[in-house]
Amino acid sequence: MKEKILGIFEESNSVKEKFARENHALIEDVSRAIAEAFSHGRRVFLFGNGGSANDASHIAGEFVNRFKLERPPLPAIAINTDFGVMTAISNDYDFAEVFAKQLKALAEEGDIAVAITTSGGSANVIKGLEAAKKKKMRTVVLTGAKGAKFAARAEFGFVVPSADTPRVQETHITLGHVICQLVEEILFEAPRKRGQQSQ
């Protein structure tokens, strides 16, 4: 059992390390894009199904509350959390519309949409991305190896080099944490340091 446990951790670490090496420049670009959006009063909308829905909620919570720094709250919304809205849309239209209709109602040009799907094949996430693009939002996709074609449809597409759902999700939440930390540092730590140096 010990070897099994160690092997799972080693596999997870290997996937994340490969992903970081292949995507470090893109991670910086997305972090700067989100920081810029926040600095101009724009919002981040996140969405996904199942474990990806939980990741969307988790990342939104880190932005709204705080991550590592004491700072003002940042406007991030996980649109997979309002069961009343989601079930109304599902009942009257189709579950495939639950994210698209919310973005049509709530989002504005310049906001950022973060679509999370391990497979890249979730109909409601696909329609959500399409709606975001029509609203002229900036778009980010987090997916796994099976979703490479879907990721290519976004302005920023992250593809975890694995088709194993747990490994993909573990990488997604680590990526979310890294982006949260970088955004905080760009918006609050770097200006603070510049202020101290000018004194």
Radius of gyration of the chain (CA): 17
Domain ranges of the chain: 2-198
> Would you call 33 helix, strand, or coil by DSSP?
helix
Quote the pLDDT of residue 192: 61
The alpha carbon torsion through 171, 174, 179, 184 (nearest 10 deg) reads 180
Q: What are phi and psi of 116, to 5 degrees?
A: -115, 120
Bridge partners (DSSP) of residue 112 are: 44, 138
pLDDT tens by residue, the chain, 199 residues: 999 999 999 999 999 999 999 999 999 999 999 999 999 999 999 999 999 999 999 999 999 999 999 999 999 999 999 999 999 999 999 999 999 999 999 999 999 999 999 999 999 999 999 999 999 999 999 999 999 999 999 999 999 999 999 999 999 999 999 999 999 999 998 666 665 655 5
Quote the pLDDT of residue 189: 85
The CATH class for the domain spanning 2-198 reads alpha beta
Adjacency order of strands within the sheet including 76-78: 76-78, 44-47, 112-116, 138-143, 156-159
CA 79/CA 82 separation, integer angstroms: 7
**Which residues touch 152 (CB under 8 Å, ≥6 apart)?**
none
Q: What is the pTM of this model?
A: 0.94
Enter the DSSP assignment of 138. Answer: E
Quote the pLDDT of residue 193: 64
Enter the DSSP assignment of 67. Answer: S
CA 5/CA 107 separation, integer angstroms: 43
